Amino acid sequence: MAQYCTFRVADLMFGVEVEQVQEVLRGQRMTRVPMASHVVRGLINLRGQIVTAVDLRRRLSIEDRAEGEDTMNVVVRGPEGAVSFLVDDIGDVLDVPDDAFEDPPVTLGGVTRELVTSICKLDRSLLLVLDTQRALELTHEAAQ
């Protein structure tokens, strides 16, 4: 049994293993980074720690939020320190049996397929398990 912190990006529900999550925060004031990849929305100051904020909508090639829509921050521990994923909404922490996971379906396409390691069918939706390390790799395609 594993625990997943869940969140929404557009109409998709993602999960990240709880052990990878440092904390979850409401929208934070960001400082823009000139000449950074378009998926990097800026830097946030997290109690003196400078954290890069990656917009998962942009990383997944999903349309930007409407102007003024709030974001949430899922701060995960990466190999080079903490990174914040900007998401639309935070869900619950779910306990998921290890045998409940399947490979991503062939109908899941584009960048999303590249960033999802597995899926789990829930009562009302699919839980897409996000590969945080791949999501942090700002490839040439993601940097455009």
142 pLDDT exceeds 80? no
Percent of the chain at pLDDT > 70 equals: 95
Decide if 86 contacts 53 (C-beta within 8 A): yes
Distance CA 55, CA 120 (A): 24
Structure tokens at 53: 């904020």
Q: Which CATH number fits domain 2-143: 2.40.50.180, 3.90.1170.30, 3.40.50.2300, 3.10.20.30?
A: 2.40.50.180
CA 104, 78, 86, 59 torsion-angle sign: negative
pLDDT at 105: 82
Q: Which of 119, 116, 142, 141 is nearest to 131 (CA)?
A: 116
The 10s digit of each residue's pLDDT in 81-103 is 899 999 999 999 999 988 889 99
Question: Is 73 exposed, middle or buried, given 0-12, 13-18 or 19+ CB atoms closer than 10 A?
Answer: buried
Percent of the chain at pLDDT > 90 equals: 65
